[in-house]
């Protein structure tokens, strides 16, 4: 029965909502509450309900949720400032992300000798993208300089789409290593290039055309009050699905489309962001609830000390070392580099990517891969959720934050 989990979800909404103002300034986050509630109420806890949700259902719901959130976050991004302050996200996406996958693969090979290198690379690719929702206090905090907030936001928006082709590549390689089916390197390089380029083109075209349309209709007063947010949601869903149909990456299309849409339709983009902060966020919280209730318990029996060790390294060394290397030359203070490096939480994208990889269930050691990914996401929800608000305030008051907030002109003249 689905009634019992819905009752628990409703109770979580009421409980967190009643104290949300206090929780926002504390070490308690909404994803943390929903995940722990699912874990406590499900089979691994009190056993209040037993529910079996198909991976395809969670995967489809997760894709729509992530695409919608990416679109709305990008629509709220100041694109003009981003063009001036693009160095940080460029370095994080083009240098740090590949290094994170390389570092993660190397560490996994050392800790899990029973896994093939392809499976180790799959783990690293699944855990490479970040989730701004888990560090929501960071990307919305006025204490944190705008260029740092936008750098973290843009990274989390685009790295999902860039990492997905790598996830599909390593999942296919892990499967083909045990079968006769295999594609050459050229095929996968072409696949990745197509996914990224087509996704970006779809985002620009769809976001631009529909952004102009919605803006024109809004200026003429043709859109009723009830459909202002719903119209924008339709644009987000269309952008995501059109890219998928054409053969592009839906997540890149959603983020790029959101940025273009926000450029043409600033007023609607603001209301859409407000909608996401309220109703839209519920979708991701529901996924975290079922993560705690269904997915996490299924992997508990495969947890080992090495899984926990890899999870901790994934959240620290594997993420923070590539981040520091990628930011060399930008003259950012050490506290700023550490702040950006730490706030690379793993959440919705990693859960979704694993569900996609599960389609290759012929892989012999999938349960161990699930255990590594899920324990990493679990610890990320707890640790990043608990530190987002206090560390944002602490960093915002630091001399490093004040210095790095105004260092762009110095950088540009120096280069």
Mind listing the pLDDT tens digit for each residue in 281-293? 788 898 899 899 8
Report the alpha-carbon distance of residue 179 to residue 160 in Å, rounded: 28
pLDDT in tens, 253-265: 888 888 888 887 7
Residue 79 has pLDDT above 70, yes or no: no
Q: What b/e sequence results for 224-237 when a residue is b if at least 16 CB atoms lie within 10 Å of its CB, and e otherwise? A: eeeebbebbbebbb
Residue with more model confidence, 321 or 80: 321
Report the alpha-carbon distance of residue 339 to residue 392 in Å, rounded: 9
Residue 137 has pLDDT above 60, yes or no: yes
pLDDT in tens, 329-360: 998 999 999 999 999 899 888 988 888 777 65
What pLDDT does residue 413 have?
A: 41
Query: How many Cβ atoms from other residues are within 10 Å of residue 316's Cβ?
Result: 14
Number of C-alpha atoms within 13 angstroms, CB side, residue 137? 26
Which spans in 327-365 are helix H?
334-342, 348-357
Report the alpha-carbon distance of residue 96 to residue 122 in Å, rounded: 17
DSSP 329: T
Report the alpha-carbon distance of residue 46 to residue 342 in Å, rounded: 34
pLDDT band at 248 (very low <50, low <70, confident <90, very high): confident
**CATH assignment of 56-405?**
1.20.1530.20
Average pLDDT value for residue range 135-139: 77
Report the alpha-carbon distance of residue 292 to residue 412 in Å, rounded: 46
Instruction: Domain ranges for the chain, please list them.
Output: 56-405
What pLDDT does residue 136 have?
A: 75
pLDDT in tens, 1-45: 577 888 999 999 999 888 888 888 888 889 999 999 999 998 778
Percent above pLDDT 70 for the chain:
84
Measured at the alpha carbon of residue 383, what is the angle toward residues 390 and 280, in degrees to the nearest 5?
80
Residue 310 has pLDDT above 80, yes or no: yes
Report yes or no on whether pTM surpasses 0.75. Answer: yes
Report the alpha-carbon distance of residue 38 to residue 343 in Å, rounded: 24
What pLDDT does residue 179 have?
A: 52
Element (H, E) at 170: helix 146-176
């Amino acid at each position: 029965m689905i009634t019992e989990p819905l009752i628990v979800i409703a109770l979580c909404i009421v409980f967190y909502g009643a104290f949300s103002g206090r929780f926002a300034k504390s070490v308690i986050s909404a994803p943390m509450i929903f995940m722990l509630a699912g874990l406590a109420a499900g089979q691994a806890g009190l056993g209040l309900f037993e529910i079996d949700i198909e991976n395809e259902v969670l995967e489809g719901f997760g894709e729509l949720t992530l695409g919608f959130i990416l679109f709305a976050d990008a629509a709220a991004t100041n694109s003009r400032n981003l063009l001036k302050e693009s160095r940080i996200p460029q370095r994080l996406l083009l240098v740090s992300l590949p290094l994170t996958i390389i570092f993660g693969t190397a560490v996994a090979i050392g800790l899990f000798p029973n896994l093939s290198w392809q499976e180790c690379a799959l783990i690293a690719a699944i855990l490479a993208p970040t989730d701004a929702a888990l560090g929501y206090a960071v990307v919305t905090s006025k204490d944190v300089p705008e260029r740092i907030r936008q750098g973290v936001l843009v990274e989390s928006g685009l790295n999902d789409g860039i990492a997905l082709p790598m996830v599909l590549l390593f999942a296919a390689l892990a499967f083909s290593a045990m079968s006769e089916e295999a594609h050459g390197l050229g095929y996968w390089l072409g696949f990745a290039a197509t996914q990224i380029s087509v996704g970006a083109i779809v985002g620009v075209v769809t976001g631009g055309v529909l952004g102009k349309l919605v803006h024109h209709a809004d200026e003429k007063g043709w859109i009723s009050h009830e459909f202002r947010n719903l119209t924008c949601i339709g644009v987000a869903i269309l952008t995501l699905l059109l890219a998928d149909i054409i053969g592009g990456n839906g997540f890149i299309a959603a983020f790029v489309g959101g940025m273009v849409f926000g450029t043409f339709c600033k007023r609607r983009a603001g209301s859409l962001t407000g909608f996401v902060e309220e109703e839209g966020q519920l979708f991701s919280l529901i996924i975290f609830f079922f993560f705690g209730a269904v997915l996490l318990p299924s992997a508990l029996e495969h947890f080992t000390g090495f899984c926990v060790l890899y999870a901790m390294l994934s959240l620290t060394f594997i993420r923070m070392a590539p981040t520091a290397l990628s930011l060399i030359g930008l003259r950012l203070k050490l506290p700023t580099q550490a702040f950006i490096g730490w706030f690379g939480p793993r959440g919705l994208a990693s859960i979704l990517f694993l569900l996609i990889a599960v389609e290759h269930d012929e892989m012999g050691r999938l349960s161990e891969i699930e255990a590594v990914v899920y324990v990493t996401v679990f610890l990320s929800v707890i640790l990043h959720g608990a530190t987002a608000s206090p560390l944002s305030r602490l960093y915002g008051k630091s001399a490093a934050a004040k210095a790095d907030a105004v260092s762009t002109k110095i950088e540009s003249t120096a280069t």
